[in-house]
Amino acid sequence: MCPAPVSDGDRRGYIIPIGGGEDKGLEPAVLSRFVEIAGGEKAEIVILPTASTLESTGPLYEELFDGLGAASVRSMPIATREDCNDPAHVESCEQATGIFITGGNQLRLSTILGGTDVAQTLRRVNAQGVPIAGTSAGASIMSEHMIAGGEGDAGPAEGGAVLAPGLGLTNAGVIDQHFSERYRLGRLISAIALNPFLLGIGIDEDTGAFIDPDGVAEIVGSGTVTIVDGADLKYSSAHAANRKEGLGMLGLKLDILHEGCRYDLNAREAFAPGEG
């Protein structure tokens, strides 16, 4: 699924995958930057807590964004596919200046949102300029190919990553979250083995990749973002590997970006702070 087309005169909105565990204290850099991009004091933010089964998730982010100075904040009680086709929820997304997808279970997100009116509206309004952020599961679902499962703390292996369809806000890569904290490098490389042209984007907790309309990501937060690029792979055993067998992959490129670094997803080029 490709991102929705951008009409003449429009600019695509930011796509902001966050690795989960974002700072919610006195100086929440990642969340503050999202509010700024969404309009600051004029921001009208809609929260989608669908991935979570906790009733407290939506109100928690309402309180956080209200405290960061947004003009209005609303959590939409979307728990079923029927809810996703409610015209009132569609209208709320159309009127928002920023949309935030919370963490939880990404398969819950994909099975409830996938193919619904709300999902199509998210794609459309992002193409019209509305920034969309997602944390943890909300980050994973942003890509066309979503990592739905797989073992952490293990090397790259056949079957090491389970993929499912995502929202398709970007088709440049596949996104994993809680990355360093849950030792998910092997899982991300396993996903890239299935399609080496994809970029693997592994995002640590309290860290966001702020991807601008030109496809350039700026890193914000206390952790790092790991980029795995398999475009120049010269050998892979993925096609012949038996179930759970370790993978051989030669020619992978790895970049690790901290706050202030940028990465051009189209040119596949990383920049140190102040470069470019």
Could you tell me the CATH number of the domain that includes residue 241? Answer: 3.40.50.880
Q: Is residue 178 part of a domain?
A: yes
Q: Is residue 39 part of a domain?
A: yes
Task: Give the start-end residues of each E strand in 27-76.
Answer: 44-48, 72-75
Can you say whether the dihedral through the CA atoms of 262, 102, 52, 167 is positive or negative? negative
Q: Is residue 56 part of a domain?
A: yes
Q: Which of 75, 136, 140, 190 is catalytic?
A: 136
Q: Is residue 9 part of a domain?
A: no
Q: Which of 75, 178, 190, 236 is catalytic?
A: 178
Q: How far is CA 58 from CA 41, 51, 200, in A?
A: 20, 11, 29
Q: Which of 22, 205, 218, 236 is catalytic?
A: 205
* Count of other CB atoms within 10 angstroms of residue 172: 19
Q: Is residue 152 part of a domain?
A: yes
pLDDT in tens, 170-226: 999 999 999 999 999 999 999 999 999 999 999 999 999 999 999 999 999 999 999
Judge contact between 188 and 200, C-beta under 8 A: yes
Number of domains in the chain: 1
Residues in the chain: 276
Containing domain of residue 182, as a range?
15-261
pLDDT at 151: 85
pLDDT at 1: 67
Q: Is residue 243 part of a domain?
A: yes
Below-50 pLDDT ranges, the chain: none
Q: Is residue 276 part of a domain?
A: no
Phi and psi for 87 in degrees, rounded to 5? -55, -30
Cα–Cα distance for residue pair 217/197, rounded to 1 Å: 18
| Centroid of chain to Cα 53 | 20
Is 136 a catalytic site residue?
yes
Q: Is residue 112 part of a domain?
A: yes
